[in-house]
Chain A
């Protein structure tokens, strides 16, 4: 079966760095997405990786290793507004998105 694993919850301190991991096993691969979702709100797009390596976008970076079935989202200089759930999703060979359950990130002052 297809599976996306990410930690259920993480806690970090304001101003620090946090890395949220995502491992996947899917039927084919057409890219990996990260979305941010504040409680009770719409998910919003953060990043897309289809080739191995690191993509940097401001305070957020996303890494992909296709051979290891692994990605991480790196958040730097954490702010209180970064408290949210972070969703990892993989597009399989049929261009269907397979979603992880999300990682709830709690930022403490």
Chain B
């Protein structure tokens, strides 16, 4: 079955540590996205990539980094520079980036807690 796999589902981190969240898709989608979801707020875009070896900052990129070395993979690193990293992180993909009916397929999410 085609879909998006995020891992780990739950992650605990000490302050000052970097952590990498995995996102893999087998949908052959060109575009991939990372969102952050906090209670009472809409999804906020961290980074997105419309093609391999290229990515753009979203609205809240500070303290995060990504890579897109393969079409299927778009890992997110939460660095120690991110001041409030505890959140639910969602990875998504779509066939292409800039089109109207751009339906996103989401992964099941990764919940990061900083101790």
**Docked CA distance A30–B88 (Å):** 27
Chain B residues whose CB sits within 8 angstroms of the CB of A7 once the complex forms = none
**Docked CA distance A63–B4 (Å):** 29
Residue in A30, A43, A45, A102 whose CB lies within 8 Å of B100:
A30
A40 contacts B by Cβ under 8 Å: yes
Residue in B45, B102, B111 whose CB lies within 8 Å of A91:
B102
Q: Are B40 and A45 in contact (CB under 8 A)?
A: no
User: How would you classify the secondary structure of chain B's contact residues: helix, strand, loop or mixed?
Assistant: loop
A-facing residues in B67-115 (Cβ within 8 Å): 88, 90, 97-109, 111
Q: Are B41 and A95 in contact (CB under 8 A)?
A: no
**Docked CA distance A4–B111 (Å):** 25
Chain A residues whose CB sits within 8 angstroms of the CB of B101 once the complex forms = 31, 48, 50
- Of chain A, the residue at the smallest CB distance from B43 is A99
Q: Are A41 and B99 in contact (CB under 8 A)?
A: no
B42 contacts A by Cβ under 8 Å: yes
Q: Are B109 and A95 in contact (CB under 8 A)?
A: no
Interface size of B in residues (CB-CB distance below 8 Å): 23
Chain B residues whose CB sits within 8 angstroms of the CB of A96 once the complex forms = 45
A98 contacts B by Cβ under 8 Å: yes
- Of chain B, the residue at the smallest CB distance from A8 is B40
Given contacts A43-B106, A50-B100, contact A97 B45 (CB under 8 A): yes
**Docked CA distance A49–B107 (Å):** 23
Chain B residues whose CB sits within 8 angstroms of the CB of A31 once the complex forms = 100-101
Q: Are B99 and A42 in contact (CB under 8 A)?
A: no
Chain A residues whose CB sits within 8 angstroms of the CB of B42 once the complex forms = 4, 87, 89, 98-102
Given contacts A30-B100, A33-B103, contact A41 B108 (CB under 8 A): yes
Given contacts A41-B109, A42-B109, contact A95 B97 (CB under 8 A): yes
Q: Mark A28-65, 1 if CB is under 8 A from B, else 0.
A: 00110101000011111100101000000000000000
Q: List 16 A-B contacts (CB under 8 A).
A: A4-B42, A40-B88, A42-B106, A43-B43, A43-B104, A45-B103, A45-B105, A48-B101, A48-B103, A87-B43, A95-B100, A97-B102, A98-B42, A99-B42, A100-B42, A101-B41
A-B pairs, top 3 by smallest CB distance, nearest first, are: A99-B42, A42-B106, A99-B43
